[in-house]
Amino acid sequence: MPKSLFPAASAEARYRLEQDPTLKLINDFDWSANALGPIAEWPESLRGAVRLMMLASTPMVMLVGERGILIYNNGYAQFAGNRHPEVFGMPALEAWPEIAEFNRTIIERGLANESWALRDQELLLNRHGQLEACWMDLHYSPLVGVDGLSMGTLCIVYETTERMLAEKALARSEERLSLALSGSSLVGTWDWDVTENVVTSDDKFAAMFNLDPLRAGLGVSIDDFLAAIHPEDVIRVREEIATVLIDGSSYRSEYRLIGADGSVHWVIASGRPRIGPDGVATRFPGVIVDVTEQRRISDALAESEVRFRTLADTMPQMVWSTLPDGYHDYYNARWYEFTGVPVGSTDGAGWNNMFHPDDQERARIVWEQSLATGEPYHIEYRLKHHSGNYRWTLGLALPIRDAGGQIIRWFGTCTDIHETRLVAEERELVAQELSHRIKNIFAVLTSIISLSARSRPEVKGFAEELRQRIYALGEAHDFVRPHSHVSRPPENQGSLRSLIERLMQPYGEGRIVFSGEDTQVDDGAATPLALLFHELATNSAKYGALSRDGGRVDLAGSQYDDRYHLSWKELGGPAVAGVAGPNGFGSRLITLSVEGQMRGRLERIWEADGLRVEIDLPIDALRRSARLQS
């Protein structure tokens, strides 16, 4: 088809014009198959209007004739997106089926010679493969021929989608900000027109500065707001504002406001001025936050910190604290006085280097155990003194937990126990010497009894029994005598179970088994108990279960109310033929020990499978020095 939109143009002019792809498209389009027919047959007024439109940069489209045939320029081609060039020359209702009814109205109104405009018109268009919301300003004019009748409609399109989306996003943001601010009584906003010296604010900001919300919303002078600032702060605030207005930097200031009732409130104001092209501030928006409560809490914490440090530094003990993971971050003055190290040099894991080399690993293991389990920390170790010597120290620490039970900090103390430790070691030497002398007395008594028995063969058996009883007393004495940390045996000192296990060792492992509830015994009870168990075991070894291989004794303990019960049961021994009365000296001795000295009850029961002895004692007879009672 001849390029007839510009039939009189030179080849050079046509080449230049057809650099516009849409103009080339209209010249190359096969209009003979279109309802409009060849361009040469179009009315001159239509060709002139099309030429004008095609050379315009503003997006324009024509809906020509009753079917609204689409002819548009390059600007509209870009607006049409992926629908171009398919829709070029198509009827509008077929080209944009998603807005067919909308375009039908446009065609009718244009043919009726109407002109009108639509502002920010929203349409759902399929321009990129799916429907999307688009906004645009649309200006419609009729295409009038020389006969005064309309041939169609010319539409000028200004797409406003980006602006509308930005405005909607801004509106949503402002709505969220408004909801957030309205939900708080502590935050206010302002906007200062620096050029006109007019400050507008929300109700919260106005209330903080003792101003009527209506006046503040309409705008007042900056001086009306500055009047509410504390006299001691107002000069500083003015200077800070003047500085940021000059350099355009961010503004942040903390100051006091005097309320209408005379109360003082702390606030933090922040914002940033807007600088114009001439370098002069034009606007200054910002927010203000009431931090009175936070300030009160901060001051209270600071005061508490001062009190704590004063208390900690005046204590005779060394005080320290750590984070939940054990990182040491605080020591009081006593620590640095004792150790003589520079402040901060033992933070973190550095404190472990202050221990004696022989104690470091032990102290680390105990501390890690407390960190892992939350159990209290308790240990004695040697700590390096500023003199260079190592001194014995007692380390204690407890965890501090939050409402949920989580450890938030450890607080501990170190107490110098060096002198106490030395005194205890001296007492231990004395105690060992006394114990040795007492054992020597027992040994002398045993020797005297043995020598006496040699000249009196008829009392040899009695002498041997007496010697064994003295041995039992010696074992009981050694068991309950005071011990220090050095001599203390590994077993539970003062425990009835431990006393029985020690006394029954000569009869073989596992032959006398204690079960049930254990209890504590003191020196007053250990002696009669030692005689009791020694007598029972000796008789069993002579006549009862312990006299045979495989025989054994089950010894069970139980506590109820204020009494303690022991049951001695022999198993696997010789059959019991009858009842034997407590006629021997040993039997009378244990009866006297239990019922007299310990105020208890003892009962022997001669059962077919072995002797059973039931012993019932008051608890206080086990745990204090009992006096001999008749």
- Exposed/middle/buried for 248, CB within 10 Å: 0-12, 13-18, 19+? middle
Q: What whole-number distance in Å separates Cα of residue 321 and Cα of residue 181?
A: 41
- Please give the Cα distance from 397 to 414 (Å, whole number): 9
Q: Which of 274-278, 331-335, 359-363, 446-450 has the lowest mean pLDDT?
A: 446-450
> Cα(521)–Cα(624) distance, rounded to whole angstroms?
8
pLDDT of residue 587: 77
Q: What is the mean pLDDT of residues 387-397?
A: 92
Q: How confident is the model at residue 295 (pLDDT cuts 50, 70, 90)?
A: confident
Q: Give pLDDT, residue 450.
A: 67
Mean pLDDT, residues 389-406: 91
Identity of the residue numbered 225 = F
DSSP 8-state secondary structure symbol assigned to residue 273: P
Report the percent of the chain where pLDDT is more than 70: 83
Is the pLDDT at 481 greater than 80, yes or no? no
Q: What is the pLDDT of residue 2?
A: 44
* Residue 150 pLDDT class (50, 70, 90 cuts): very high
Instruction: Report the alpha-carbon distance of residue 291 to residue 228 in Å, rounded.
Output: 16
* Predicted confidence (pLDDT) per residue in 212-256, tens digit: 888 888 889 999 989 999 999 999 999 999 999 999 899 999 999
- pLDDT, residue 630, reads 34
306 vs 451: which has the higher pLDDT: 306
Distance of alpha carbon 464 from alpha carbon 449, whole angstroms: 8
Q: Please say if the pLDDT value at position 3 is more than 60.
A: no
> Within 481-521, where are the H helices?
496-503
Q: Which one has a higher pLDDT value, 477 or 370?
A: 370
Helical pair 496-503 and 460-480, crossing angle rounded to 10 deg = 140
| Element housing 101 (H / E) | helix 100-111
Decide if 89 contacts 29 (C-beta within 8 A).
Answer: yes
- Other Cβ atoms closer than 10 A to 552: 21
State pLDDT tens for residues 486-502: 455 544 456 888 888 87
How confident is the model over 512-536, as pLDDT tens digits? 889 989 988 877 787 788 778 878 8
Calculate the CA dihedral of residues 599, 605, 606, 609 and round it to 10 degrees. Answer: -120
